[in-house]
Amino acid sequence: MVANQITKPNFPLADHFDSPEQQVDAGKLGMWLFLATEILLFGGLFVAYAIFHNLHPELFKAGHRYLDVKLGAINTVVLLFSSLTVVLAIHAAQKNKTSMVALNLVITLVCAVTFLVVKYFEYTHKFHAGLLPGYFFTNGEIPAPDQAHIFFGIYFLMTGLHGIHVVIGIIVLLWLLVRSLKGEFNEQYYLPLELGGLYWHLVDVIWIFLFPLLYLIR
Amino acid sequence: MDSVKELLSMRLPVASTMSWLPEAASTAASSVDWLFYFLIWSCVGLFLLVVVPVIWFSIRYRRKIEGQKALSQVDHNVKIEAAWTLLPCIYLAFLFYWGFIGFVDLYTIPFNAKTLRVIGQKWNWTVQYPDDDISVSGQGAVIGVPLGQPVQLIMSSQDVIHSFFVPNFRIKQDVLPGRYSSIWFQATKIGEFPVFCTEYCGDEHSKMLAIIKVMPQDEYQEWLTKKKGEDVGLPPLELGQKLYTQKACNACHTLDGTPKIGPSFKGIYGHMTQLEGMAAVKVDDGYIRESILEPQAKIVKGYPPVMPTFKGQLSESDINALIEFIKSLK
Amino acid sequence: MVANHLEEESYLTSKKGISSWLFTLDHKRIGLMYLVSVMFFFFMGGLFAILLRMELWSAGETIVKAKQYNQLFTLHGAIMVFLVIIPGIPASLGNFVLPLQLGAKDVAFPRINLMSYYIYVVGALIALSSLFVGAIDTGWTFYTPYSITTDGGVVVMVFAAFVLGFSSIFTGVNFIATVHKLRAPGMTWFRMPLFIWGIYATAIIQIMATPVLAITLVLLIIERVFHVGIFDPQLGGDPVLFQHFFWFYSHPAVYIMILPGMAVISELITTFSQKRIFGYKAIAYSSIAIAVISFLVWGHHMFVSGQSELVGMIFSALTFLVAIPSGVKMFNWAATMYQGSISLATPMLWAMGFFLLFAIGGLTGCFLGTLSIDVHLHDTYFVVAHFHYVMVGGTFMAFMGGIFYWWPKMTGKMYNETMGVWSVILVVLGFNLTFFVQFLMGAQGMPRRYYHYLDQFQIYHQISTVGSFLLGFGFLFSVITLLVSLKHGKKAPPNPWHAATFEWTETASPPIEHNFHHQPICTRGPYEYDQIAKSV
């Protein structure tokens, strides 16, 4: 029919779509909608953060000193760099450079894993120091009222939920890597790369909000 | 227990069986009730306004023969549409305004109000009279209040959220843990009026009842005096028995050996009891005292750790009286 | 040409075997699977409701103890809200009808569609498994701090609601993308049937509100397991914050429930009046208006929770504002019937039942929006009656109407009309008997979620219990009517109601697997009954 005339040769078109453009548009719209829900998901936590910051500003001042700004900053740079490499991967696909796609994805993956390793060291330090949420809070030296555990509750909730997103991101990136190694992406078809990239940018952007709110707050 | 039964069989004073609202017994009620009845009649009118045409149309324009076409395909009429958008706006604005005025009245506490402190806990109300140094509590507690004088309730909760509802006064307010909320009323009728808890709070939510007893001033003063004298000079055993219902121990602990939310009191004194995770412990004066003041310290095996603390609510002699009472239950 | 088409098999028979259903990507089959699942849980929730009503025959213990009574109303609420009413119309009828009405071959993301069905099933199984961990007794609203301290499988049930939320989000994403990108050539926004507008507005709420519920439930789980101190007052937290978070989702969720119902009614009234819908744009826009305003009214659940008078005032005003678009829809439906050619077939009777009951539900909402009146009525049976009139009398009547309307399309069978009519009569009678007395009892001060009650309320409770049996029988009879038709029903023609939308005019009953032989082209509005071309 009419639709079939504009079908591109290297584009796996699902049979309920009429044209590649329609499929790409629908995919992107769906991803943006999903990202909106993700932002709202974190939005709930940001609201909780704002409320408790309003109620007990002293907790946040006292609490943030126990977070390692240096490690947080390293992680910020690592994530920002990984966002760049994702963009480069898409760019490479548009130029039909299949090996560059894979290389950039690998670099992104390395960054993602680095982020988690750094986070692991941060978490273990907190565990040893007893800087934990609620009943598990055992740190005695912190010069804050007895509700300091709320700050660490929020800290672990926000960074933990973000961490889960990083893990999911790694799985997505691995899946993209496998597909790129099979040579599935080319100048006509790179939609999954774009969608995965959008998701990874979101993970990045959320961290960019978390870092100042938790580590740099005064 | 008996008082709750009594209450349950008591009828709310309702003007007549077919009345929509219970008998009005506070100043607030009069400002609420007219609006309620206005709402009822206006809603009946609005209901007929939409339902009658629909029924009429479905008779008048009923399809008589298969394939019959509609008489017209009219699909808009700006004037009518504007009317049915704007007129409801006016109606609703009216409701909003009068509802808000009444709401402000319900929560604006007169400066000369007498203060009572209300504590909600699973599953009873405690009302303290700070000026008179007495308190009443327990399921079915009788809260005496004077006629014609504004009374303010400052309320907080021991455990979960409760809500203080007096239908005859048209007042209701959530009672929250960790903060104070308040409400007021001025009784206009002598009589006994039930208090319900209206925020779901667990097993005996529906038994978390009390009675507000409205009395003329002189009778109220007598009541206060009598209350003050009541607990003084009661022998410990009788005081303990009284506290057992008044503090709602009976909500969780039976006297006949059947386990409820907590273990029964029957025959525990002087015997060993198995604890959660630890060895057994002997039920003695020290253990009972600890269980009342710090209930979570030792949990009897097989029961949930749900008992609230009674620290600050019981005097030394109250605790001793309760120990004597439990001791007596062989 | 036509002869060839008739030989192609319908979506029901084109593929065979159980796995062709379990792994299907066909929106029609997924819609049917949802329909069966939702109905299963509806009857389970209904059974709990009957048990509740039996318990309330007398004050104190009638058939169960207080604890079990509390567990029963929690389960009834949680199942009906999360497993029945929220997914109900969008996931079953929406899935089946939306692509057909748009002239599309499927939804935009068929695999995600199947995935969201399985997420629903997993969520439902988790919810049921909470029964084995220990049934929960928090009420479906999970209010803190009660939900943090009580025993039972609260974490399991809350996690189930969390999982179900994702099913809802994915369905919403799918529908929005489908409506935006897969409309047939010529189908402009204002040529879309109103059912699509309603589902579209619903999808917007689904994707905007559900994530907030998800994070709220996560916080609740974390609070219960790790005692973080966000909601727990003993640790410095704020229990009322939970109510804000919860109602920020759950009030819009009320419109997730009712908007699809209104959407179905819009289709039914115009088709069975054979007349263009009155005020098409008003109805379309009012759906979107409701979707937007619904996010701003959550505080009306909390007038007596200790918030300030100013906040109460704002929420009251916004609540009245959201009433206007609903009122406008009612007037438009009534005007649509004016000078129509009205057939009182079963689906139309369900719509009439909806009209009657939803009018009562909506008007009693005015009582609750009025601040000073709400103080007296809050958390009494008046509220219980009100939301049952809206949710059952509104949404569920519309759901049944939709099922009876699209049943010939879904199954290719016509049901017995007399039985259909009796189903409606039984349900409407039973419903009013059950719930109307609850308005009276609530106004007189009977609080909800009460196991014991004062003697004076007994007569009302007993009337209500009798009514609930009639209502239950009515729903059972409706389902029997439908099931009997599968075996004995006459074969349905492609367009038995003489409707004007694509699913009736462009494809057979039941449709073929890819919906249409030719891509339908849209050249007119959805309700031009004069111009219905020759049926397929």
For chain C, say whether A171 makes contact (Cβ under 8 Å).
no
User: Does residue B231 have a pLDDT over 70?
Assistant: no
User: Does residue B152 have a pLDDT over 60?
Assistant: yes
Do B236-328 and B1-58+109-230 fall under one CATH topology?
no
Specify the number of domains making up chain C: 1
For chain A, say whether C145 makes contact (Cβ under 8 Å).
no
Task: Please give the CATH topology (third level) of the domain spanning A24-215.
Answer: Four Helix Bundle (Hemerythrin (Met), subunit A) (1.20.120)
Asked, for residue C12, whether it belongs to a domain, the answer is no
pLDDT of amino acid A13:
84
Give the start-to-end residue ranges of the domains of chain B.
Answer: 1-58+109-230, 236-328
- The mean pLDDT of C300-325, rounded to a whole number, is 88
pLDDT of amino acid A4:
46
CB contact under 8 A, C320 and B76: no
Residue type, B122: K
pLDDT of amino acid B278:
65
- The mean pLDDT of B255-266, rounded to a whole number, is 84
For chain A, say whether C212 makes contact (Cβ under 8 Å).
yes
Query: The domain spanning residue C124 has which CATH number?
Result: 1.20.210.10
CB contact under 8 A, C342 and B202: no
CB contact under 8 A, A29 and C181: yes
pLDDT band at B316 (very low <50, low <70, confident <90, very high): confident
pLDDT tens per residue, range C477-493: 999 999 999 999 999 99
User: Does residue B204 have a pLDDT over 80?
Assistant: yes
Give the integer Cα–Cα distance in Å for C249 and C210: 6
What lies within 8 Å, CB to CB, of B49 at 6+ separation is none
User: Does residue B1 have a pLDDT over 50?
Assistant: no
Q: What interhelical angle do C280-293 and C194-226 show, nearest 10?
A: 10
pLDDT band at B232 (very low <50, low <70, confident <90, very high): low
Distances (CA, A) of B5 to A129, B1, B40, C412: 55, 7, 34, 60
Which of B68-72, B323-327, C232-236 has the weakest average pLDDT? C232-236
Beta bridge mates, B150: B186
Give C238 or A129, the one with higher predicted confidence.
C238
Distances (CA, A) of C128 to C72, C80, C124: 13, 13, 6
B61: nearest CB among C323, C330, C337:
C337
Residue that the structure tokens 């995770």 belong to: B277
High-pLDDT (> 90) share of chain B, %: 42
Q: Chain C residues with CB inside 8 Å of A35's CB?
A: none
For chain A, say whether C216 makes contact (Cβ under 8 Å).
yes
Q: Is residue A129 exposed (0-12), middle (13-18) or buried (19+ Cβ within 10 Å)?
A: middle
CB contact under 8 A, B99 and C376: no
Q: Chain C residues with CB inside 8 Å of B104's CB?
A: 309
pLDDT band at B233 (very low <50, low <70, confident <90, very high): low
Q: Chain B residues with CB inside 8 Å of C500's CB?
A: none
High-pLDDT (> 90) share of chain C, %: 75
CB contact under 8 A, C445 and B207: no
pLDDT tens per residue, range C309-321: 888 889 999 999 9
- The mean pLDDT of B255-278, rounded to a whole number, is 83
- Chains touching A by CB (3 or more pairs below 8 Å): C
- Chains touching C by CB (3 or more pairs below 8 Å): A, B
What lies within 8 Å, CB to CB, of A176 at 6+ separation is A89, A105, A192, A193, A196
User: Does residue B205 have a pLDDT over 50?
Assistant: yes
Closest alpha carbon within chain A to C238: A52
How close A191 gets to chain C, by Cα (Å)?
A: 14
CB contact under 8 A, B99 and C149: no
Mean confidence (pLDDT) of chain C:
92
CB contact under 8 A, A150 and C177: no
Please write down the HEC assignment for all residues of C136-200.
Answer: CCCCCCCCCCHHHHCCCCHHHHHHHHHHHHHHHHHHHHHHHHHHHHCCCCCCCHHHCCHHHHHHH
Give the integer Cα–Cα distance in Å for B25 and C326: 37
Q: Which of residues 261-300 of C touch B (CB under 8 A)?
A: 273-280, 282
pLDDT of amino acid B220:
94
Beta bridge mates, B163: B174
pLDDT of amino acid B165:
95
pLDDT tens per residue, range C67-96: 999 999 999 999 999 999 999 999 999 999
By the 8 A CB rule, do C127 and C197 touch?
A: no
H or E, element range at A24? helix A20-55
User: Does residue B264 have a pLDDT over 70?
Assistant: yes
- Chains touching B by CB (3 or more pairs below 8 Å): C
pLDDT tens per residue, range A191-215: 999 999 999 999 999 999 999 988 8
Mean pLDDT, 10 residues at a time, chain A of 218 residues: 54 84 92 94 90 82 83 93 94 90 94 94 84 71 68 88 95 94 88 94 94 84
pLDDT of amino acid A116:
95
- The mean pLDDT of B177-206, rounded to a whole number, is 92
The class (CATH top level) of B1-58+109-230 is mainly beta
> Does the complex come out with an ipTM higher than 0.85?
yes
A135: nearest CB among C180, C214, C227:
C227
- The mean pLDDT of C240-258, rounded to a whole number, is 90
Beta bridge mates, C447: C380
Domain range for C77: 17-531
Which of A174-178, B305-309, C9-13 has the weakest average pLDDT? B305-309
Give the start-to-end residue ranges of the domains of chain A.
Answer: 24-215
User: Which of B99, B185, B28 lies closest to C372 in space, CA to CA?
Assistant: B99
- The mean pLDDT of C197-204, rounded to a whole number, is 95
For chain C, say whether B79 makes contact (Cβ under 8 Å).
no
Q: Chain C residues with CB inside 8 Å of A157's CB?
A: 218-219, 222, 228
For chain C, say whether B35 makes contact (Cβ under 8 Å).
yes
User: Does residue C237 have a pLDDT over 50?
Assistant: yes
User: Which of C19, C238, C240, C105 lies closest to C511 in space, CA to CA?
Assistant: C105
pLDDT band at B14 (very low <50, low <70, confident <90, very high): low
pLDDT tens per residue, range C384-423: 999 999 999 999 999 999 999 999 999 999 999 999 999 9
For chain B, say whether C329 makes contact (Cβ under 8 Å).
no
C239: nearest CB among B43, B57, B161:
B161
**Regarding the domain with residue range B236-328, which homologous superfamily does it belong to in the CATH classification?**
Cytochrome c-like domain (1.10.760.10)
Mean confidence (pLDDT) of chain B:
86
Distance, C-alpha C209 to centroid of its chain: 16
Give A128 or C101, the one with higher predicted confidence.
C101
Asked, for residue C240, whether it belongs to a domain, the answer is yes
Q: How many residues does chain B have?
A: 330
How close B198 gets to chain C, by Cα (Å)?
A: 6
Dihedral (Cα; C77, C79, C80, C82), 10-degree rounding: 100
Distances (CA, A) of B321 to A166, B136, B233, B325, C281: 61, 17, 12, 6, 75
For chain C, say whether A57 makes contact (Cβ under 8 Å).
no
Which of B227-231, C140-144, C156-160 has the weakest average pLDDT? B227-231
For chain C, say whether A150 makes contact (Cβ under 8 Å).
yes
Distances (CA, A) of C89 to A82, B281, C395, C412: 43, 59, 8, 20
